[in-house]
Structure 1
Amino acid sequence: MAVLPRRAVMLGVGILGAGGIAERAMVEPARGVDGVGVVAIGARDPERARAFADRLDLPAWGDYDAVLADPRVDLVYLALPPVVHAEWATRALAAGKHVLCEKPLSANGTTAAAIADAADAAGRRAFVGFHYRLHGFIAGLLDTIGSGVLGEVKLVEIDFSIPHFVVQPGNIRLDGDLAGGAVMDVGCYAVDLMRAAWGELEVVSATAQISDADPRIDLQTDAELRLPGGIPALLRASFLGDDAGAMWVRVDGSAASLWATSVIVPQWGATLTVTSTDGSVLRSVAADPDENSYARQLEHLVTVLGDGSPSILDARRGVGTMRVVDEIYRAAGLQPR
């Protein structure tokens, strides 16, 4: 692994995993965030890491262990399948690094709790990469839900469906050995959002459309949940969406209804509309397309690691999301990952 002088950054990031998400979620946004620098990339095949580093002009490369041993690395970003998050998060924390796990936090609630426990034991911090939560549009969405403008909430519906042509055979999201599945991939966002807006959830029922190639994989899951106060919520997580896909949330209340789009990635044209029961538009908002949720996530991490303040991305909170994911799978007749 190449050894270069430490860059003048407040937060040096080392990445484990040389896939596309590492470039999109970390390398590109880090270049626009003050105080953050990607200082090392690691892959199972060091030559793949070298190719990644050469293409994106990163200063160091090697295998996973080389990244963990690099003294310039303050935070390790796990751009790996969730089934190995617990192993590598634990090792990174023991090496004195903070950890950001690409969502979901881990394969299941048990291994997610192991990450949170390891962070406590090491005196370091672990986070889950629900980047969307740091976007200003989502802050506005949650503020609107909590403002009372909707009146008494009667029903919540969320559909996060990936277009049917995106997740094709060979994709890791279709591999049961790697903790794949629709709820794991996009359903976890819906669970996280509902917990942020209303609190803890109860899973009432679920049904899953199973992959013929791997019976552990849900291509689509529809779940009925109950929010605090007995509010019903319907969730769809799917790899079988139409050509446009779906990332929408609807909240029906006694006084008004809320409709929000592109919730998972607000910079992709998210909109929020609140309509009263008489049909008048009370609020209409569009997300700023120049605001990047991944950049906001990095800014947030610089702040909370600098001053020790709480984070909405803390792994301990993320454990609860994974436990709901587990319960959805059990309700659908599947085993947690």
Structure 2
Amino acid sequence: MKIALLGTGFGQAHAAVYANRPDVTDVVVFGRTPAKLEKIAEDFGFATTTDLDALITDPSVDLVDICLPTHLHADTAIRAMHAGKDVLIELPLTTTMDDAERVIDTQHATGRQVFVDMFSRFSPANTYLRAAVEDHRYGPLLSLETESRTALLWPGYDLGLDSMAMDMMHADFDLVTSLLGTPDTVNATGTEGPGGRGSAADVILGYPHATARCSASSLMPQPYARRGGYRATFTGAVLEHATIAGFTGQGSSTLTACTADGEHVIDLPDGHAYALMIDHVLACLAGREENRIEPATALEALRLTLDVHHRLTAPRAAQQS
């Protein structure tokens, strides 16, 4: 398996996963800044290039992994598909619904496999929550609160309000919409750090018989790394998930259930979400699994993410409805 990894920012998280896989024999990293490429070569031992066209059209490349700025996702993915490549696209899929449809149309026209890095779908804690909702293990879900907090760990990502919804909250919106559907009401508010570096946002989503709140902050100091989780309140229990991780997504995770009988820790399978997502992508390319993260499955969460993005970046008077 030869992979073209495009991007030296969040692409480092993917690089860390590929470096530990014996079935990935060759990774070539594209970037625009030689100094960043040199660091990736030192850290992971991968070849690097500044020639995007040559890399995308290289006949020996099996998968193009796109970790470029989001506004470049659609055109780059379409070029790669027309060059006969399967494609993994870092979330969010695109910056507009029209671009998302262009990617899907090209996928259908070329017959290529296309994946969106909806990594949170592979989180063991999220998998448990989805199963609990589906089998009514604790009764109806009444409230879902998600929280994501991080330092600025990825070069080139300031995570101000102009990117908070797109780069940091999208995965949580995917979890919420998969469990509760499209919200009836959306309320979003946010604040920004000095010079636009870092921000914090709160989003409240209203449903006929439930509510959801998604909070995110990128104002943390470097030693804080990444922390977050969720609290899911059912009629018969509360599930609380907490995680601490670094820029690669690796770290510790705990899930507890509190019922009328008391509180206990739920044993979760090993594995972190990014690595499990890439496991799935490579298994699909080998014909062992069916694609669970096709672009079409990301549209509902993308639509909500774009709505929240516009509210956080619009004048305050237009942020509520």
Settle same-fold status: TM greater than 0.5: yes
Who is 1:313 aligned against? 293
Q: In structure 2, what is the Cα distance between the partners aligned to 1:307 and 1:94?
A: 21
Provide the C-alpha distance between the structure 2 equivalents of 1:125 and 1:67, rounded to a whole number of angstroms.
Answer: 18
Residue 10 of structure 2 corresponds to residue 12 of structure 1: no
Structure 2: where are the runs of 5+ without partners? 316-321
Contact between 2:160 and 2:199, CA under 8 Å: does it hold in 1? no
Residue equivalent to 1:173: 158
Cα distance in 1, alignment partners of residues 66 and 118 from structure 2: 13
How big is the shift at 1:210?
4.1
CA displacement 1:30-52 (0-9 Å, x = unmatched)? 24335333332222356864664
Q: Which residue among 237, 256, 281 is the counterpart of 1:301?
A: 281
**Equivalence map 1:145-224=2 (5 Å):** 145-162=133-150, 166-167=151-152, 171-174=156-159, 180-210=162-192, 213=195, 219-224=199-204
| Cross-structure match for 2:219 | 240
**Deviation of 1:202 (Å):** 3.9
Q: Within the alignment, does 1:326 sit opposite 2:315 as a pair?
A: no
Name the aligned partner's letter for residue 77 of structure 2.
A
Stretches of structure 1 lacking an aligned partner (at least 5 in a row)? 1-10
Q: Kindly provide the amino acid, as one letter, of the partner of residue 239 in structure 1.
A: S
Aligned residue number for residue 255 of structure 1: 236
**1:87 pairs with one of 69, 75, 81:** 75
Shift of 1:90: 1.5
State the partner residue of 2:251: 268
CA contact (8 A) 2:66 2:90 kept: yes
Aligned amino acid, residue 18 of structure 1 = T
- CA–CA separation in structure 1 for the residues paired with 2:123 and 2:313: 35
Letter in 2 for 1:29: V
Aligned to 1:186, what secondary structure does the other structure show?
A: helix
For 1:114-129, list aligned pairs within 5 A.
114-129=102-117
Aligned to 2:318: none
How many residue pairs get aligned? The number is 311
Aligned residue for 2:243, secondary structure, equals: coil
More displaced 10-residue stretch of structure 1: 251-260 or 39-48:
39-48
Q: Is the Cα contact below 8 Å between 2:160 and 2:192 reproduced in 1?
A: no
**1:212 CA drift (Å):** 6.1
Q: Contact 1:150 / 1:258 at 8 angstroms: preserved in 2?
A: no
1:21-170 aligned at under 5 Å gives the runs 21-25=10-14, 27-45=15-33, 49=37, 52-53=40-41, 56-59=44-47, 61-162=49-150, 166-167=151-152
Q: Distance in 2 between matches of 1:204 and 1:104?
A: 19
Give the aligned partner of residue 3 of structure 1. Answer: none
CA separation of 1:116 and 1:263: change in aligned 2, threshold 3 A: farther
For residues 246-288 of structure 1, what are the alpha-carbon distances to aligned partners after superposition, in whole Å with 9 as ceiling and x for unaligned?
Answer: 4121111221111111298874211111111x3612x412545
Change (3 A) 1:286 1:314: same
Q: Alignment partner of 2:285: what SS?
A: helix
Matches of 2:266 and 2:108 in 1, distance apart? 40
Kindly tell me: are residues 51 and 66 of structure 1, through their superposed partners in 2, closer, same or farther at Cα, counting changes over 3 Å?
A: farther
User: Residues 37 and 130 from structure 1, CA distance in 2 versus in 1: closer, same or farther, beyond 3 angstroms?
Assistant: farther
Q: What residue is the counterpart of 1:4 in the other structure?
A: none
Q: C-alpha deviations, 1:53-83, integer Å up to 9, x for none?
A: 4653335634111210111111111121112
SS across alignment from 2:60: coil
TM-score, scaled to structure 1: 0.79
Q: Identify the range of structure 1 (98-107 vs 138-147) with the bigger mean alpha-carbon deviation.
A: 138-147
Distance 1:252 1:241, change over 3 A: farther
C-alpha distance in 2 between matches for 1:114 and 1:334: 26
Q: Note closer, same or farther for the CA distance 1:322–1:293 as it changes in structure 2 (3 Å cut).
A: same
Q: Decide whether aligned partners of structure 1 residues 268 and 108 sit closer, same or farther in structure 2, where only a CA change above 3 A counts.
A: farther
1:203 and 1:328 in contact (8 A); partners too: no
- Letter matched to residue 243 of structure 2: S
Compute the RMSD of aligned alpha carbons: 3.2
CA distance, structure 2, for counterparts of residue 95 and residue 133 of structure 1: 29
